[in-house]
Structure 1
Amino acid sequence: MGELHIHSVLVSGANRGIGLGLVQHFLGMPTPPKWVFAGCRDPKGQRTHELQNLASKHPNLVIIPLKVFNPASIKAAAATVEKHLGSSGLTLLINNAGIVRNTELEEGTLENMIQVYTTNTTGPLLMGQAFLPLLKKAVQGSPGSALSCSKAAIVNMSSIAGSIAYPLEWDRMQIVSYCCSKVPPASVNMLTKCHSVGYKEHGILCITLYPGWVQTDLGSASKQKPPVTVDASMQRMPKVLSSLSKKDTSTFLDWERKVVPW
């Protein structure tokens, strides 16, 4: 298993939960990235205090406004990142932002479905498009042809709720808008497959990653306490990222590097 050597990384939904945990991990690496971009909807909002505190201690952390459901916001974020990177590219794009609405089958509405689908599925699609030029720059600046997260990669964070074949989640969490926005082949996992096929020629690794059922606001939406802490997930997930190679692109793996059935 190799080590991550990342020049730059962008994490969406970075002000809390898994996104914040990822930012903390990257900043705490023995050799941290030169640039860590933390995207969140309201950088000056009440729920960004911890992220702001990190930024005050780490000059390589840049907090940027990013609403993944808004194409104009995504383009503006890409332009901001490009200004900081200069002639270098973006090594790692982690599409982590996601929302959930507690609606069961009988309560699902058009508004809920559109809102959740736009954030959880369309958002990663538009993010990939907007940051593709910077990912391609990273490839050009990285020697060798092997795919890896240290060269250039898109990581789409998903949920085991997106697995039709995994029965436990159906008994535990029947949240129709969230499950549909995460269920293959219509959503995030199929998008990763499309990413892997479309961006393979550019040398970009693309993968879907399940961080575990983590104790976050989103993870607790089913009214049950998730078994995995953010710290426990962060101890495992970076190791998974460091181990990824060409054979893993387009796959759906969990925080313990196990293949998740679609």
Structure 2
Amino acid sequence: MGEFNVRSVLVTGANRGIGLGLVQHFLRMPNPPEWVFAGCRDPKGQRAQELQNLAAKHPNLVIIPLEVTDPTSIKAAAARVEEQLGGSGLNILINNAGSAQPRTLDNETLETMTQTYTINTVGPMLLGQAFLPLLKKAAQGSPGSGLSCSKAAIVNMSSYAGSIEDVYVWDFGQVVSYRCSKAALNMLTKCQSLAYKEHGILCVTLHPGWVQTDMGGSGSFKPPLTVDASVQGMLKVLSSISEKETGTFLDWEGKVLPW
């Protein structure tokens, strides 16, 4: 990953799980970003303690209050990031914040469907809109004509569970609202890739694997992948993708997944 030079990155849902893992790995890079922005709902709360500890040691880590379902919070976060960047753009927006409700088709409700869709699909759309000026600025300020994550990118954290062609681990859990929201997120990524290509912004959707997190685990079952292994794999993928991968659905090893 020596070629992966990123000046600035924003990770949503950064206080635990994959989001926290991404922040930790960016900070540990041989040539870390000048700014790592970590978005979370309650930066001063107990659940953000690890993030607070990291920020105390790393002056380039800035914790940003961010509720991805609240347009006012998103606008305030964009203004805060813009102020911190002081005239330069944002290289990568990683829409990682997500929610899953362990419900079957029979007991899905309007409330759980709407809430999950709002967090997992509408949130990334609103964030893409709010941070578009900063992403465009980063793209304009980068050399070369091709697309890359070192230039400007939106990375949407999806799931193989959103594949319509290959309905992943259905027997393990139906999680219908989650599957529907991730399938919709995949379409959002495709739309973003078409709309934002002219601005020099790469857009990709990633399946991080079945990871050992609060969301990924279920009772005594232990998912096969650690956060570390997933994040290392995804960063390797992000360091190597280019224009031909924009608008695609990849896993943490770089394999193309079926829509």
Match of 1:100 in 2: 100
* Aligned AA (2:240): S
SS at match of 1:171: coil
Match of 2:241 in 1: 244
1:150-178 Cα deviation digits (max 9, x unpaired): 00000000011001222442122201111
Unaligned runs of at least 5 residues, structure 2: none
Moved more, 81-90 or 165-174: 165-174
Contact 2:102–2:173 under 8 Å retained in 1:
no
Is 2:197 the counterpart of 1:200?
yes
* Aligned AA (2:244): K
- Counterparts of 2:34 and 2:13, CA distance in 1: 20
Aligned mate of 1:215, from 212, 215, 234: 212
Specify whether residues 222 and 3 from structure 1 end up closer, same or farther in structure 2 by C-alpha distance, changes over 3 A only.
farther
Q: CA deviation at 1:70?
A: 0.7
Aligned mate of 2:229, from 228, 232, 235: 232
- Counterparts of 2:60 and 2:89, CA distance in 1: 15
Contact 1:156–1:207 under 8 Å retained in 2:
yes
Contact 1:160–1:169 under 8 Å retained in 2:
no
SS at match of 2:32: coil
Is 2:176 the counterpart of 1:176?
yes
Contact 2:104–2:173 under 8 Å retained in 1:
no
- Counterparts of 1:19 and 1:123, CA distance in 2: 15
- Counterparts of 2:181 and 2:2, CA distance in 1: 33
Contact 1:215–1:226 under 8 Å retained in 2:
yes
1:116-135 Cα deviation digits (max 9, x unpaired): 00000000000000000000
Q: What TM-score, normalized by structure 1, do the two folds share? A: 0.96
Aligned residue pairs: how many? Answer: 259
Unaligned runs of at least 5 residues, structure 1: none
Match of 1:123 in 2: 123
1:1-262 mapped onto 2 (5 Å cutoff): 3-183=3-183, 187-221=184-218, 224-262=221-259
Q: CA deviation at 1:223?
A: 6.4
Q: What percent identity do the matched residue pairs reach?
A: 72
Q: CA deviation at 1:232?
A: 1.0
Q: CA deviation at 1:86?
A: 1.1
SS at match of 1:107: coil
Contact 2:147–2:243 under 8 Å retained in 1:
yes
- Counterparts of 2:70 and 2:154, CA distance in 1: 19
* Aligned AA (1:196): S
- Counterparts of 1:12 and 1:67, CA distance in 2: 9
SS at match of 1:208: strand
Contact 1:99–1:116 under 8 Å retained in 2:
yes
* Aligned AA (1:60): N
Q: CA deviation at 1:49?
A: 0.8
- Counterparts of 1:259 and 1:126, CA distance in 2: 26
Where do 4+ consecutive residues of structure 1 move more than 6 Å?
A: none
Q: CA deviation at 1:221?
A: 4.4
* Aligned AA (2:213): T
